[in-house]
Amino acid sequence: MTDLFSLEGRSALITGGSRGIGRMIAAGFLAQGARVYISARKAEACNQTAQELSALGHCVSLPADVSTPEGMHSLVAAYAKHEPQLDILVNNAGAAWGAAFDEFPEKGWDKVVDLNLKTPFFLTQMLAPQLRKAAELKPAKVINIASIDGVTVNPQETYPYAASKAGLIHMTKRMALRLIQDNIVVSAIAPGAFASDMNRDARDHASEVSAQIPAGRIGVDDDMAGAAIYLASRAGDYVVGATLVVDGGVSFAR
């Protein structure tokens, strides 16, 4: 059973890895023996997190703005300087934007949809050669980080965020059907309330948010790390195109 969940000797690239859910996943992968490369738009924050996580294992900072094609190409090139193949890709970088229906700006829509939906597809496409090389020996993994807001509707007016996460869940299925032919397993995680800069309510008002969750608490680091390790390891090899909801039951209570 130890080998079933081991990531020993495997390489992982995590976008949005400097904080929040990305950092939780990075720490979990390191604890299971993976070599982890984290990327984030802000170089200083990315470098700081990599330095801190290096206490757990091999962690390298690869700052890049993956919201643009140039940034994605830059990240792919930077990663290639370290590894000839890629065992695990976690498409975690994302953005949110809230505004009233009558005032919602097009720039907010484009920013959110491009980063949350367009980037995971094209970054995976760019890294497909490295993923296919890893898949020659054992299944390579792509894990898209969606949200329960793509599963059920919440009261907040975050139109492109909810739409992009719902689209990512569906795109995960479509990508999975194609890439499993190359021994690349694509799946997704739909997190609920986890403390982060993006989910400030869970971070700053945990007790109030917890009262709305059947499990009675917000998610903690190990909850997210455990889900990602399961999908990334041998244990998740037969989970193709599925989205794992990790929310303490809140999506069923809405």
* Predicted local confidence at residue 212, as pLDDT: 85
145, 162, 213 from 202: Cα distances, Å:
18, 18, 11
Tokens of 243: 């989205």
Q: In whole numbers, what is the pLDDT of the chain averaged over residues?
A: 94
Closest of 238, 243, 254, 221 to residue 26, by C-alpha: 221
pLDDT by residue (tens digit) across 18-49? 999 999 999 999 999 999 999 999 999 999 99
* Predicted local confidence at residue 247, as pLDDT: 94
What is the distance of C-alpha 241 from the center of its chain?
15
* Predicted local confidence at residue 1, as pLDDT: 80
Section 102-108 average pLDDT = 96
pLDDT of 134 strictly over 80: yes
pLDDT by residue (tens digit) across 146-167? 999 999 998 899 999 999 999 9
Tokens of 77: 């090139």
How many residues can be counted in the chain?
254
* Predicted local confidence at residue 200, as pLDDT: 64
Return the CATH number at 105.
Answer: 3.40.50.720
Section 102-116 average pLDDT = 97
Q: Which of 24-33, 104-113, 191-200, 215-224 has the lowest mean pLDDT?
A: 191-200
Q: What is the pTM of this model?
A: 0.95
pLDDT of 207 strictly over 80: no
How many C-beta atoms lie closer than 10 Å to residue 98's C-beta? Answer: 13
pLDDT by residue (tens digit) across 225-254? 999 999 999 999 999 999 999 999 998 876
* Predicted local confidence at residue 252, as pLDDT: 83
Total tally of structural domains belonging to the chain: 1
Residue 213, domain extent = 3-253
Closest of 42, 9, 223, 11 to residue 131, by C-alpha: 11
Catalytic pick from 37, 161, 230, 238?
Answer: 161
Whole-angstrom distance, CA of residue 33 vs CA of residue 29? 7
Q: What is the CA radius of gyration of the chain?
A: 17
Whole-angstrom distance, CA of residue 173 vs CA of residue 102? 33
pLDDT of 186 strictly over 80: yes
Name residues whose C-beta falls within 8 Å of residue 221's C-beta, 6 or more positions apart in sequence.
24, 27, 28
Q: What percent of the chain has pLDDT over 90?
A: 87
DSSP state of 181: G
Tokens of 222: 């190990």
| β-pair type (184-191, 88-91) | unpaired
Q: What percent of the chain has pLDDT over 70?
A: 95
Look up 161 and say whether it is catalytic: yes
pLDDT of 74 strictly over 60: yes
Section 67-90 average pLDDT = 98
